[in-house]
Amino acid sequence: MEMNNKKRRQSMILYVIIALAVMLAVQQTFATFQRKSIKNVSYSEFLTMVEQNKIKEVELNTGTGIIRFTDGDTKDKDTTIYETTLFPDDDGLVARLQQHEVKFSAQIPDTRNDLWIYLLLSYGLPIGIMVFFGWRLNRRMKKAMDGDDPSMDFSSGFGGFGMGNLGKSNAKIVGEKETGVTFKDVAGQDEAKESLQEIASFLEDPKKYSDIGARCPRGALLVGPPGTGKTLLAKAVAGEANVPFFQISGSEFVEMFVGRGAAKVRDLFKQANEKAPCIVFIDEIDTVGKRRDAGLTTNDEREQNLNKLLTEMDGFDNNKGIVVLGATNMPDSLDIALTRPGRFDRRIPVELPDLAGREAILNIHAHDVKMEPNVDLSIVARATPGASGADLANMINEAALRAVRMGHRRVTQEDLVESVDVVIAGEKKKSTVLSEHEKQVVAYHETGHAIVAASQKGSAPVSKITIVPRTSGALGFTMQVDEDEHFLTTAQEMRDKIAVLCGGRAAEEIIFGEATNGASNDIQKATQIARAMVTQYGMTERFGMVALGQQRNRYLGGASELTCSEGTAEDIDKEVQRIVEEGHREALDTLRAHRFKLHEISRYLQRKETITGEEFMRIFTRDDGFAPTLPTMS
């Protein structure tokens, strides 16, 4: 309560400062306008104008000695008003004015009231207005923070201070009884659907659960990478149960003014209580539910919102059928008081789909697209390991767009294959024209990757090689596609991947005797794999099975952080360097052994720019009568 009073006083002071600034600006504007409309002249100029018959009217203020006169009719808007100060001992002024037929008068001020009127108008009235509106603001903010009037509208003019819907949650009701999405529209997340099916069943028929003494989970936390369908799953639960669905983002609770976010939380659960049974979905809940700490740099507004959310999740009647679903990409950053059972009873991973899941997702999105009968979506599914549901939906759409550009009446297999390249590497960059030498370097680089990969046992087969520049910045790429899905990777397979990544640089060194910057991405990936082998997977004899690092924000691709001493960190760097260099030497040895194939395939690739895996393997495995081991070229 003391904190709320302090915040109200701070907000009151803020608005008083704003009102003072407005008052001063208005006074300055009027003063400037007044100064611009009156021209000051000297007394000698005044007398000269009298002699030249340029003055029509003169008014003297006997209290201040100010003479105000005009050169025309005062009703005329173009008439200029002049001011000057009366010169002492000028007894002939009245005679001069009469001689030149000037109309003159004198003003005797009431000194008894002028000062009080001036003070009242200049200071009393603005201060009174500020006090009045400050009192109204204080009352309204107190009601909003105490939750007595969460639905009041502050958006109508200055009477409401233009603060928007103070205390109103702005939660969007996607559907009163129908969201338009059911579990049939969700693919590739069978385990998540199974966990959420019970919640939908409880909301649809709570009696069969209450008869046995079971209660509905208060909340479920959906965690996973972006684009995996967390929002879609939440809508599907409401669609299956035919209940209202409230959707709001966690960022909408974060407000500039203290107390507004907490009032929005209260209003959200008040609306949910009125519509129960229902589902409340808070997207990006980590925005409002981040872990509290004892540090000095705390955010009182955010913590107040979190405390209100914790209280509301404890306070609503679970038997009414209110279920809170939260979605986040950063589950490790959430406050432990929020994720405990009784608030979020279930934590449901929504991971990237596997091979079967990707094919099912492609089939769902392909329903609304006209396709050729012979289109095989399993080829796209195998070519896109690590793709999310959003990526796959984008690939189908890109294929449809390409079909229109190419004049096709239906989407072809070629359109789908090209759409995979577009999503992974970007569009073909037509503005980038490589010189013949650069084209040759890129061809040898990509062929080096392919030959090292084809020479290994168990490595994923090469499906495509291209030297067409892409908008992502890649001048070419070599694509490998596994026949089956793999969930475990051995140390040797990781070393083989590092060798394949080093194949491009090795080819440049063997053929041209120098290195280019084209291998920068390869080096980065190879270093990441080697570092993970050392710090996370315990795959080196030097350090053994010891975790020397941990990954942060793994759903957002966060890098790993070392958890060791500085001396050990230096040893880790040396071990990573050794592993990458071993892969580099292996790539060099492999390409030297297949140098003639390196030349043959590179020249073929330069002519065609893009070749399939079948074309590559046909040339690579063809017996030309050459010995497998060739002399080394410097």
DSSP 180-211: S--GGG--S-HHHHHHHHHHHHHHH-THHHHT
pLDDT in tens, 365-410: 998 899 999 999 998 998 888 899 999 999 999 999 999 999 999 9
Q: Torsions phi, psi of 326, nearest 5? A: -120, 145
The per-residue DSSP string of 372-425 comes to -TT--HHHHHHT-TT--HHHHHHHHHHHHHHHHHTT-SSB-HHHHHHHHHHHHH
Q: Return the pLDDT at 460.
A: 86
Top pLDDT among 239 and 10 is at 239
Residues 220-262: tens digit of each pLDDT? 999 999 999 999 999 998 888 888 888 888 888 876 555 677 8
The Cα–Cα gap between 274 and 278 comes to 9
pLDDT at 152: 43
CB 501 within 8 A of CB 526: yes
pLDDT in tens, 48-78: 888 888 887 888 777 677 888 887 665 665 6
Structural domains for the chain: 2-114 (3.30.720.210), 172-349 (3.40.50.300), 355-425 (1.10.8.60), 436-621 (1.20.58.760)
Quote the mean pLDDT of the chain. Answer: 80
Q: Which pLDDT tens digit goes with each residue over 141-175?
A: 655 555 444 444 433 333 344 444 545 555 666 55
Is the pLDDT confidence value at 110 over 80? no
Is 446 an annotated catalytic residue? yes
- The residues pairing with 86 across neighbouring beta strands, listed in sequence order, are none
Q: Which of 255, 312, 398, 446 is catalytic?
A: 446
Distance CA 456, CA 39 (A): 94
How high is the pLDDT of residue 496?
95
Distance, in Å, from the CA atom of 403 to the CA atom of 273, rounded to the nearest integer, reads 49
What type of residue is 425?
A
